A = this chain, B = another copy of it.
Amino acid sequence: MRPQKGKQKLYDAAMRLFESQGYFATTVEQITVEAGVSKGLVYNYFESKEALLAGLIAETTEKMESVAGSLSTGGSVEESLSGFIDQFLNYLKTEKHFLKLQLTLLMMPELRAIVAEPQKARADALLKMVINWFKQAGHTEPKNRARMFMAIMDGIALHYLSTYERYPLNAMKPQLMKAARDLCSD
């Protein structure tokens, strides 16, 4: 009947507040005030405050995966890694707020479960893909090289998401490209 506008408003408000103040420091009432709706509406859509967070994560993940660019598979290892770096940096920049929230949740024992399995599945899939690149190119220790590459990417992500604009992400791109090349040599 009436068009439903509250749910999205709640997601938007929750996203902003959870990122800036944290989940526990944010009250349900604050979210509703920020969203411009009543408190009762939250419990019309969600079982609990935690279910609101879970819904927000699920919604955003789904939205992102539908836009996820496919990685080119052909070419040399170097080309594959280079493409990966490009995609990864774009992803970081455009989805920084969500990614930071996800990283925060992943580090919190209380809320880890909400993001753990899907996140682990994606991380494992990416690792396997990179391992295969190294394997097909006949490199020694493909697993450890792939792990090293993922550590580098996540290290950059960690530093960027901790400081945002204060981190020279663009300047790091050539460094990443060099590191990728070096991982292929020897």
Contacts and interface: CB of A to CB of B under 8 A. Distances in A.
Contacts of A175: 141, 144-145, 147-148
Interface string A55-85: 0000000000000000000000000000000
Interface of A: 19-22, 24-25, 103-104, 106-111, 141, 144-145, 147-148, 150-156, 158-159, 162, 168, 171-172, 174-176, 178-179, 182, 185-186
A174 B151 CA distance: 14
Tell me what chain A mostly uses at the interface: helix, strand, loop, or mixed.
helix
B162 A147 contact: no
Contacts of A25: 109-110
Number of copies: 2
A147 B158 CA distance: 12
A150 B20 CA distance: 26
Contacts of A22: 108-111
Given A144-B175, A145-B175, A175-B144, A109 B21 contact: yes
Contacts of A24: 24, 110
Contact of A107 (B104, B141, B148, B150): B104
